[in-house]
Amino acid sequence: MSRVRVHNFSISLDGFATGAGQSLEQPFGHAEARLHEWFFQTRTFRSMHGEAGGGAGVDEAVASAWEPGIGAEIMGRNKFGPQRGPWADDEWQGWWGENPPFHTPVFVLTHHPRPSLPMAGGTTFHFLDATPAEALRQAREAAGELDVRIGGGPTTVREFLAADLIDHLHIVVVPIILGRGVRLWDDLEGLEKRFTVESVTTPRGVTHVTFSRP
């Protein structure tokens, strides 16, 4: 059975995976880039953006696991864009430009479905109003033998964790106190009992916490 995986999911020490006040200018709200600085310096992130070089240590080793073996992604609508409610039009194509870094089908969970959106490089956005289990069924069908990535944001990851649909969860704890935003851990008491948990701090000061099925 293929696995369902979360990778490179950054949270603050107080558990927020995004700040308050998401907008077109600030996809992570008042958190700005602070949750992801550890990621920006990796070779994986730089190559996603067509740049050479970057760190090649443990941060990179862990970060690079996000792509191999993935056949589809599921993301929440708030990861796809800053709009809320019905779509004013179909012009918004995500934050990632003409050639998004996914290169697979991407299922966007929204109460306001719209036509599928094929992009360059193999990414197609599909819009679904569905439960986590139903979305996963469709993503698995699209992924074939490959794994499915749950791409975020925090509300989506939390819903899939609550439904016990995730097999591998990679969290990056960044030692900042955001104070407000969207929390990852609410209503997940005892989550660790379903997983083998491993933690490691890297010289950049973040802690990679991995939950994997025993």
Instruction: Give the nearer residue to a copy of itself in terms of CB position, either 139 or 178.
Output: 178
Cβ(211)–Cβ(44) under 8 Å?
Answer: no
Q: Residues 135-174 vs a copy of itself: string with x where CB under 8 A? A: --------------------------------------x-
Q: Is 201 in the site for a copy of itself (CB under 8 A)?
A: yes
User: Residues with Cβ < 8 Å from 50, sequence gap 6 or more?
Assistant: none
Lookup result for tokens 């995730």: 166
Q: Least separation, in Å, of the C-beta of 63 and a copy of itself?
A: 18
Cα separation, 83 vs 148, whole angstroms:
25
Interface with a copy of itself (CB under 8 A), residue total: 28
One residue of 115, 144, 190, 214 binding a copy of itself per CB under 8 A: 190
Quick one: angle between helices 154-162 and 132-143, nearest 10? 100
Of 39-47, 48-56, 85-93, 180-188, the window that binds a copy of itself (rule: CB under 8 A) is: 180-188
C-alpha torsion 58→15→151→18, nearest 10: -110
CB atoms within 10 A of CB 206: 21
Residues in touch with a copy of itself (CB under 8 A): 13-15, 173, 175-180, 183, 185-192, 197-201, 205-207, 209
